[in-house]
Structure 1
Amino acid sequence: MSNQNLVETLNEYFSLGINQQLDYDKFYLYSIITHSTAIEGSTVTEIENQLLFDEGISANKPMTEQLMNLDLKAAYEQSFVYAKSHADISIELLCTLASLVMKNTGSTYKTIGGDFSSAKGDLRLLNVSAGRGGKSYLAWQKVPDRLQQFCDWLNAERKAVDKNDIHKLYELSFEAHYRIVSIHPWADGNGRMSRLVMNMIQYEAGVIPSIVKKENRAEYIQSLALSQENDNSSTFVEFMLNHHIENLQKQIAEYKASMETDEVKGGQKIVAGGQKKWSETALRILDLLKQNPKISRKELCEELKINPSAVQKHIEKLKEANKIERIGGAKGGEWRINE
């Protein structure tokens, strides 16, 4: 049933052209990063990350959290380079990505097994457990061999999987997520790394990457814990598949609402005689720009209750129609309305 739901949802997603929105890949990546770090405690919002990444505007949030997001962005960009080249997954490759994830927030450890640095992506030389009284992970001495087994398994599966079987491609990515987080190869950043590896596999396969939403953090952790307790990944894989379908369906609903899809083309309604009439959202943006020419994209998103990519799409359409123009840069500039 989930396979049918996945295919039907993806067909609608593509038929609406959601993946063809302006800067879709960029904004989608920002959403992935925001939610992945939020699961680890970051309070930086998606809009704040957009301003941080694109314009270098810092949020009024702890610097550690902002660095966590910047580091994860760099790691994702490198993972996409690997995915495009179809590079073999190796311990060295994984540790390189881990070093990017933890570059500015990692620590140096001094242990009986030796000194190591999570900021350099070193494999852990200590034993770890998940939370107080939680699951104890693999002894650190066994990590290298188990991680090599993981790499061998994943490289074989990537070659064997049917590239036309969307359901199997997603299952492989979720299984990889489960296996690497269960090994827990690093002292820090295992959650972010497991989600990154999952997304890298999806990116290589050309499918819509999964976002683990921060709102579903408890269910996500519980499904992982249940699978680890039973030594069976099926509970976790099923949760991830259903969660991905729900996220896509929500995006579809939000897209339809933001673009007023009843007879809307490119943000404009076609009325009698072929005359164009601007959608309510576009008119609302014009009104907000008139009220405050210095209004930011973040403030527009908050006022309109829609995502950054939808706001950007409307703004581009208004600019193309010469209804608005930007005077000055992102900092200190303002909008001019051309009546």
Structure 2
Amino acid sequence: MFEREIERYNTLLKEYRTTVIDKFNVEDLKEYNEILFSAHSCAIEGNTFSVDDTRALKEKGLGMIPQGKTLFEAFEILDHFNAYEFLMEQTDHPLTEQLVKDTHRILTQHTLTYRYKDAIPGEYTNTDMGAGDTIFGNHEELIARVSRLLASTQKAIEDLPIHPVEIAAQFHKHFIFLHPFRDGNGRLGRLLSNFILVKMEQPMILVEQQDREKYIGALKACRDERTLAPIVEFYFKTAIKRMDTEIALKKEMTEGNDYDYSK
């Protein structure tokens, strides 16, 4: 069904690895992704920190909160840093409920109880949930399905019945609509889908803040049309766009310098 996207992705991935990934120090690449991913993923949920603000916070901590930004937003991003770093150290481990709960606990450690006094970081919701124009199902029934989703996804990671990007995208859709936690499901779902990609030695997929409406639209289309195709297509397009952009930028920054002062 996604033959064209898969062919384009796989072809581009070869160039992206040799042009971008293989040229980076491993730890530098991890931090580069951490800052970009944290800034955009939190921004999708309403955080106003820019990428530059996020980089400054990473480098200087709470001593560098830009004017007009809140302490809550700073803690949200700092917690996201910690969750990202924790999860990316676990890529040799299987996808389990304990891993998901531990990541959620770190991700929402300083923000969850500020919004929901009766919620506990790392623990599933104790009430039915709604977000935007979506009312999710009975929370007890949805939570009971989480273990099946994780086991099925782990098996797919091991057996690779479909392309890695399809596995990550399908997991993301299912996780979002199970919505097992009181808050943080979107940020956690994006972290986990990238954990899946990294486990399968694929580049991370960065959903940029400016693509928020397309991203939410793809999830809603999955809900309304009862198909996984929209989110899978969105994931492929997003991955291809990022690789294309970074390859082009790398070439431009390498070849584009001209030191002839007479011009």
TM-score, normalised relative to structure 2: 0.89
**Does the 8 Å CA contact 2:107/2:184 hold for their aligned counterparts?**
yes
Aligned residue number for residue 20 of structure 1: 23
Distance in structure 2 (CA, Å) of the matches to 1:121 and 1:255: 40
Aligned residue number for residue 225 of structure 1: 220
Q: CA deviation at 1:231?
A: 2.1
Aligned residue number for residue 80 of structure 2: 72
Q: Percent of aligned pairs with the same residue? A: 21
User: Unpaired segments of 5 or more residues in structure 2?
Assistant: none
Q: Which amino acid aligns with 2:130?
A: S
Of the three residues 38, 46, 61, the one matched with 1:33 is: 38
Q: Greater share of strand residues, 1 or 2?
A: 1
Aligned residue number for residue 141 of structure 1: 140
Distance in structure 1 (CA, Å) of the matches to 2:166 and 2:13: 15
Q: Which amino acid aligns with 1:195?
A: R
Distance in structure 2 (CA, Å) of the matches to 1:208 and 1:152: 23
**Does the 8 Å CA contact 1:108/1:117 hold for their aligned counterparts?**
no
Structure 1 residues 280 and 47, CA, compared in 2 at 3 Å: closer, same or farther? farther
2:239 alignment partner, SS class: helix
Asked whether 1:150 is paired with 2:161, we answer no
Distance in structure 2 (CA, Å) of the matches to 1:24 and 1:159: 25
Q: CA deviation at 1:280?
A: 4.3
Matches within 5 A, 1:101-116: 101-107=107-113, 116=118
**Does the 8 Å CA contact 2:5/2:236 hold for their aligned counterparts?**
yes
Q: CA deviation at 1:108?
A: 7.3
Asked whether 1:185 is paired with 2:180, we answer yes
Moved more, 68-77 or 4-13: 4-13
Q: What do the CA deviations read for 1:244-276 (whole angstroms, capped 9, x no partner)?
A: 101111111222222226xxxxxxxxxxxxxxx
**Does the 8 Å CA contact 1:116/1:122 hold for their aligned counterparts?**
no
Matches within 5 A, 1:237-248: 237-248=232-243
Q: C-alpha root-mean-square deviation of aligned residues, in Å? A: 2.1
Q: Greater share of helix residues, 1 or 2?
A: 2
Q: CA deviation at 1:47?
A: 2.0
Aligned residue number for residue 302 of structure 1: none
Q: CA deviation at 1:240?
A: 1.2
Distance in structure 1 (CA, Å) of the matches to 2:88 and 2:210: 26
Q: Which amino acid aligns with 1:177?
A: H
Q: Which amino acid aligns with 1:90?
A: T
**Does the 8 Å CA contact 1:211/1:244 hold for their aligned counterparts?**
yes
Structure 1 residues 108 and 145, CA, compared in 2 at 3 Å: closer, same or farther? farther
Distance in structure 2 (CA, Å) of the matches to 1:28 and 1:151: 24
Q: CA deviation at 1:148?
A: 1.4
Of the three residues 82, 85, 103, the one matched with 2:90 is: 82
State how many pairs are aligned. 252
User: Unpaired segments of 5 or more residues in structure 1?
Assistant: 262-278, 284-339
**Does the 8 Å CA contact 1:71/1:103 hold for their aligned counterparts?**
yes
Of the three residues 97, 101, 119, the one matched with 1:117 is: 119
Aligned residue number for residue 253 of structure 1: 248
TM-score, normalised relative to structure 1: 0.70
**Does the 8 Å CA contact 1:109/1:116 hold for their aligned counterparts?**
no
Structure 1 residues 109 and 52, CA, compared in 2 at 3 Å: closer, same or farther? closer
Q: Which amino acid aligns with 1:257?
A: E
Distance in structure 2 (CA, Å) of the matches to 1:19 and 1:180: 32
Of the three residues 53, 63, 66, the one matched with 2:58 is: 53
Distance in structure 2 (CA, Å) of the matches to 1:75 and 1:18: 23
Q: Which runs of 4+ in 1 moved over 3 A?
A: none
Of the three residues 6, 10, 13, the one matched with 1:7 is: 10
Q: Say which one has the larger Rg.
A: 1
Q: CA deviation at 1:55?
A: 2.9
Q: CA deviation at 1:109?
A: 8.6
Instruction: With a CA cutoff of 8 Å and minimum separation of 6, indicate the structure with the bigger relative contact order.
Output: 2
Distance in structure 1 (CA, Å) of the matches to 2:20 and 2:177: 37
